Structure 1
Amino acid sequence: MQGMDHSQMQGMDQGQMEGMDHGSMQMQGGSAPANARDPDAYSGGFTLEEGPYALPGPRQLRLADEHAFYGVLVDRLERVDNGEGHALAFDTRAWFGYDYNRAVLKAEGDIDQGKLSEASTELLWSHALSTFWNSELGVRYDTGHGPDQGWLAVGVAGLAPYWFELDATAYLGDDGQTALAVEGEYELLLTQRLVLQPKAELTAYGKDDVERGQGQGLSELVAGARLRYEISRQFAPYVGWEWAATLGNSADIARAEGEATQETRWLAGVKFWF
Structure 2
Amino acid sequence: MSTFHRHLLLALITLASLSHAEASSMADSMAKPSSTTPDPSMANYIDDIMPVMDQEIWVHGILNQFEGRLAGTNSNFRWDGEAWVGGDYNRLWLRSEGTVSKGRMGDGQQEVLYSRSVSTYFDVQGGVRVDLDDGPTRTWGAFGLQGLALYQFEVQATAYVSDRGRFAGRFEGSYDIPITNRLILQPQIELNLYSKADKGRGNGAGLSSIDTGLRLRYEFWRKFAPYVAVTYDGYLQQARRFARDREDSAGSVRLTFGIRSWF
- TM range, normalised to the smaller chain? 0.7 to 0.9
1:253 is displaced (CA, Å) by 1.7
Quote the Cα distance in structure 2 between the aligned partners of 1:117 and 1:209.
Answer: 14
- Identify the range of structure 1 (100-109 vs 58-67) with the bigger mean alpha-carbon deviation: 58-67
For residue 164 of structure 2, the aligned residue among 175, 180, 198 is 175
| Equivalence map 1:64-103=2 (5 Å) | 64-103=53-92
Structure 2: state its 5+ residue gaps.
1-39
Q: What CA distance in whole angstroms lies between the structure 2 residues aligned with 1:77 and 1:172?
A: 28
Moved more, 197-206 or 117-126: 117-126
Tell me the alpha carbon deviations over residues 175-231 of structure 1, each in whole angstroms, 9 at most, x when there is no partner. 111110001110000000000000011111001122221111111122211000000
* 1:151 CA drift (Å): 0.6
Ranges of 4+ aligned residues in structure 1 off by more than 6 Å = none
Distance 1:246 1:112 in 2: 15
Corresponding residue of 2:173: 184
Q: What are the residue-to-residue correspondences of 1:134-145 with 2, within 5 Å?
A: 134-144=123-133
The 3 A distance-change label for structure 1 pair 202 and 116 is: closer
How many residue pairs align between the two structures? 224
Deviation, 1:113, is: 5.8
Distance 2:52 2:163 in 1: 44
Q: Distance in 1 between matches of 2:65 and 2:236?
A: 25
User: AA paired with 1:143?
Assistant: L
> Within 2, Cα distance between the matches of 1:254 and 1:143?
19
1:175-214 aligned within 5 A: 175-214=164-203
2:45 aligned partner = 55
Listed one character per residue, the Cα deviations across residues 49-70 of structure 1 (whole Å, up to 9, x for unaligned) are xx995328x9332221011000
Matched, 1:224 2:218: no
* Cα separation, 1, equivalents of 2:180 and 2:116: 34
TM-score (norm 1): 0.76
Identical aligned residues as a percent: 36
In the TM superposition, 1:20-169 aligns within 5 A as 54-55=44-45, 59-112=48-101, 116-144=105-133, 146-169=135-158
The yes-or-no answer on 1:269 pairing with 2:249 is no
* Counterpart for residue 14 of structure 1: none
SS of the residue corresponding to residue 233 of structure 1 reads coil
Q: Is the Cα contact below 8 Å between 1:80 and 1:266 reproduced in 2?
A: yes
CA positional deviation for 1:174: 2.9
1:145, 1:213 within 8 Å by CA — same for their partners in 2?
no
RMSD, matched Cα: 2.1
In the alignment, the residues of structure 2 paired with residue 270 and residue 261 of structure 1 have an alpha-carbon distance, to the nearest angstrom, of 26
**Contact 2:92–2:112 (Cα < 8 Å) also in 1:** yes
> Aligned to 1:231, what secondary structure does the other structure show?
coil
Equivalent-residue separation in structure 2 for 1:215 and 1:251 (angstroms): 8
Instruction: Determine the C-alpha separation between the residues in 1 that align with 2:98 and 2:201.
Output: 16
CA contact (8 A) 2:158 2:169 kept: yes
SS of 1:140 mapped into structure 2? strand
Secondary structure of 2:49's aligned partner: coil
CA apart distance, 1:266? 1.5
Tell me which of 211, 224, 236 is aligned to 1:235: 224
Deviations 1:125-150 (A, max 9, x none): 01001000000100011123631111
Residue 248 of structure 1: how far off its partner (Å): 1.3
The code of the aligned residue for 1:204 comes to L
